[in-house]
Chain A
Amino acid sequence: MTPKRRNRIILIVLMIAGVGIATGFALKAFNENLMFFYQPSQVIAGEAPAGRLIRVGGLVTTGSVQRQPDGLTVQFALTDNIETIRIQYTGILPDLFREGQGIIARGRLGDDRIFIAEEVLAKHDENYMPPEVADALKAAHEKGVSETGAAGTTP
């Protein structure tokens, strides 16, 4: 093997090893940082893990926003038109947060089934619905229709 070739092989091995190790770390971190999305009925059904960082989305129930005495902690209900969960958030809500609006909250499910949000996202276009929320509402709607349909056929 010529020294030139040996050098080149060393170079290639070094680069592959370096990139490989780094890739390993990055992928491990990737798995730890995946956040799954759940809709309220899935949370109620117990599909969402407690204590892990997840996202939930749906519509803010009209009349449900309650502010606590410190002025910064807010509780509100989030619904997918089937089930409703309570969300608690401390901090300043985004400008477009309104009752009846579709939002996404990132946070963890507490033991008392109250979702503690670290961040609440409301989009900048009021005609815009986050795709996750739109899908969740659509799925919930179809489920509701098929159930009432089934109920209708039974005498």
Chain B
Amino acid sequence: MIPELGHFALILALLMALVLAVFPMVGSLNNTPGWVAVARPAAFGQFTFLLIAFACLVNAFLVNDFSVTYVAQHGNTKLPNIYKVSAVWGAHEGSLLLWAFILGGWTLAVALFARSLPDEMLGRVLSVMGMVSIGFLSFMLFTSNPFARTFPVPTEGRDLNPLLQDFGLAIHPPMLYMGYVGLSVAFSFAIAALIGGKLDTSWARWSRPWTTVAWVFLTIGITLGSWWAYYELGWGGWWFWDPVENASFMPWLVATALIHSLAVTEKRGAFKRWTVLLALLAFSLSLLGTFLVRSGVLTSVHSFAADPARGLYILVFLCIVIGGSLALYAWRAPDVSSGGSFNVLSRETLLLGNNLLLVVITAFILLGTLAPLIYDALGWGKISVGFPWFNTMFIIFTPFLVLLMGLGPLTRWKHHDAADLLRQFRIALLVSICAGVLAALPVFKEGSAYAGLAVMLSVWLVTTLFLSLRRRLSYRRGVAAILKDFSARGSGSYYGMLLAHFGVAVFTIGVTFVTLYDIEKDIRMAPGEEVELAGYTFRFDGVESVPGPNYQADRGTIRVFRQDREITTLTPEKRTYLVQTKPMTEAGIDAGFTRDIYVSLGEALGGGSWSLRLYYKPFVRWIWLGGILIALGGILAAFDKRYRLAVNRKVMASPATPKDKLATQGQT
């Protein structure tokens, strides 16, 4: 009965989405305020029904209702409760429901929190979101209903894919989807503004915090995914340029360009058309991501069994969204006034340069990701693009990106004198070149040109950020004034930028060092045997059998010594899940600030010996630390005081961030 209730709620949600898509839009076009006013209640209704549907599916998993096909395929009585919940988005149908549910949530959030928007604009924004929602809800109802029943009812479910039975992966998809779907808000704002023909600074100011929040979720989602891949897949890698990873990375890159371009549009009124285009592109790429993941057209760790009908539906949907929005853009964009002019040497130029680089990188990732599809379609053979290519391409472009990132914050809007700029930057330039050369010399480890370059870029970034901070605070005399600065309007944006850019410096170091200096060894070891790697001695103490809740594990014991001092005992596992009878590798990791020691079990080779994979991974944590800092920077920027009016009262009432508390203390 409850699954039928969920199904029915889903149908009602689709009807609500139809109402939401049609009435406010038509009302806004023929000046019928009564129709526009439908938007808020419809958004509320849609969310309520989606919430009911979602709760029904969660309930079906929790009570082991195997009469529901989806639950029978992915649930199990022995599954721990947390994974019963996460199993909801463990496969196709449920993750679509999550997508739609989150879209409903974002729609409701816009309806509730965007109070400063004119009704007409709000109506259009919600209406566009309703249209997107129609696409997904009808897709779900017509091709992949999560509530479909099965008969005869199996007595036991086929269990969740063991890979997904992990905390990191339980929260990775919701985060990623929050980001993907959140970009639909920026998209809807752009479409609404195009329809209204009002692309002005207030439009940029409205959509900026929403875009930043979506971008933060995307950042967190990608960081979590990378971290999960590192400890769960047992290969010790953190990024594989897998099509599905690319599918999440491309919207991120474009969204990054978008939040910077929005800043220019808000502050200077320039780049309007470009910003709109980026907003359309970012959401189109997240739809493309969904298509790549769900259609199974590409070989990837994420693709499960393919279904051509579903792929076709998403492809058509994709064409309508992208084609429609680009057509609207082509029609309306020429009317948009071009904004404030600027000189060659100005912050606008640097931001434009960075935007261009981000888009070029995205274009190449898109090429590398879609090339196999294109080659196959044209009959040129089956190919894949090796990840060395992605790496090379990334190394070609990112140094310029980081170079501009350092210059940007110190350069003035509109025009900056070249001589003055050089004077300001000479210290940073000197320090970073020295640091780079030092790192490239064999003083510190076996140096290399790449290590030198990375250190140079990171130091450049950090020193320029420091210079920028110094300049900002030099106008504030005394501790109280400095503390006051933290709570000023616009300071959230500034300190957020500082933190996020610092995160990029940390990330750069992490990526370069782990890529250049990691040490890997595949080895056969008998119990009691010792082996040395990177100055650490690994002793293998054999493998024992340990039972888990829904699996049986072979647990190895490896003791790690450094100069006869025991550092840690690692217990990597090889788990065999009872239902799906799949082996799974759980790595044993000793995490550290400057290095990880990573051990994973291979196979039993008889006589108690096992094949083992040992890794020494310097600075690998810095990759995710960088990601976290970038996300934190985004959070600071999104909750800048000047958006508070645009955001809701609830946010104001919510616990103030530490900086606010500090500031109020400073004032009293």
Contacts and interface: CB of A to CB of B under 8 A. Distances in A.
Given A22-B397, A37-B381, A95 B234 contact: yes
Contact of B611 (A92, A106, A131): A92
B524 A70 contact: yes
B144 interface: no
Interface residues of A, number: 45
Q: Looking at A15, A32, A34, A36, which has the most chain B CB atoms within 10 Å of its CB?
A: A34
Contacts of A10: 344
Contacts of B580: 126
A32 B386 CA distance: 9
A33 interface: yes
Interface in A95-135: 95-96, 104, 106, 121, 123-128, 130-132, 135
Contacts of A30: 367-368, 371, 385, 389, 393
A90 B384 contact: no
Contacts of A138: none
Interface in B324-383: 341, 343-344, 349, 352-353, 356, 360, 364, 367-368, 371, 381-383
Contact of A128 (B163, B305, B353, B383): B305
Given A34-B383, A36-B382, A71-B609, A11 B161 contact: no
B531 interface: no
Main secondary structure of the interface of B (DSSP, over half): mixed
A23 B522 CA distance: 38
Interface stretch (B63-71, B134-142, B582-590): B582-590
B602 interface: yes
A133 to B, nearest CB: 9
Contact of B344 (A8, A67, A70, A104): A8
A17 interface: no
Contacts of B427: none
A35 B356 contact: no
Interface stretch (B97-105, B293-301, B547-555, B657-665): B293-301
Nearest to B304: A125
Contacts of B488: none
A146 interface: no
Contacts of A43: none
A36 B368 contact: no
Contact of B603 (A4, A92, A121): A92
A127 B306 CA distance: 10
A22 B611 CA distance: 43
Contact of A72 (B305, B524, B584): B524
B603 A29 contact: no
B344 A11 contact: yes
Contacts of A34: 371, 383, 385-386
A26 interface: yes
A30 B396 CA distance: 13
Interface in A14-34: 15, 18-19, 22-23, 25-26, 29-30, 32-34
Contacts, number: 109
B299 A131 contact: yes
Given A25-B396, A128-B305, A95 B385 contact: no
Given A7-B343, A125-B304, A23 B611 contact: no
A72 B58 CA distance: 44
A92 B585 CA distance: 12
Contacts of B609: 71
A102 to B, nearest CB: 11
A25 B360 CA distance: 13
Contacts of A7: 343-344
Main secondary structure of the interface of A (DSSP, over half): mixed
Nearest to B397: A22
A95 B584 CA distance: 6
A50 interface: no
Q: Looking at B234, B296, B386, which has the most chain A CB atoms within 10 Å of its CB?
A: B386
Contacts of B642: none
A4 B524 contact: no
A72 B611 contact: yes
A140 interface: no
Interface string B578-600: 00101111000000000000001
B356 A15 contact: yes
A35 B385 contact: yes
A72 B523 contact: yes
A79 to B, nearest CB: 18
Nearest to A18: B400
Contact of A125 (B305, B381, B393, B602): B305
A137 B480 CA distance: 74
B605 interface: yes
Contacts of B392: 26, 29, 33
Contact of A71 (B296, B386, B524): B524
B613 interface: yes
B303 interface: yes
Contacts of B524: 70-72
Contacts of A124: 161, 163, 301
B160 to A, nearest CB: 12
A149 B150 CA distance: 40
A11 B388 CA distance: 32
Contacts of A4: 341, 343
B106 to A, nearest CB: 30
Contacts of B522: 72, 90-92
Contacts of B303: 128
Interface in B282-313: 296-299, 301, 303-306
Contacts of B605: 67, 71
Contacts of A104: 299
A130 B306 CA distance: 10
A123 B605 CA distance: 23
B393 A123 contact: no
A24 to B, nearest CB: 10
Contacts of B582: 95-96, 126
Interface in B628-655: none
A124 B229 CA distance: 13
B431 to A, nearest CB: 26
A131 B349 contact: no
Interface of A: 4, 7-8, 10-11, 15, 18-19, 22-23, 25-26, 29-30, 32-37, 53, 55, 67, 70-72, 90-93, 95-96, 104, 106, 121, 123-128, 130-132, 135
13 contacts: A7-B343, A26-B396, A29-B389, A29-B393, A30-B389, A36-B381, A36-B383, A37-B384, A72-B523, A95-B585, A131-B297, A132-B299, A132-B382
Given A19-B360, A29-B393, A30-B371, 13 more contacts: A22-B397, A34-B386, A35-B386, A37-B383, A91-B522, A91-B613, A95-B583, A95-B584, A123-B301, A125-B305, A127-B305, A131-B297, A131-B306
Q: List 5 A-B pairs, minimum CB-CB distance, nearest first.
A: A33-B389, A71-B524, A37-B382, A92-B602, A7-B344
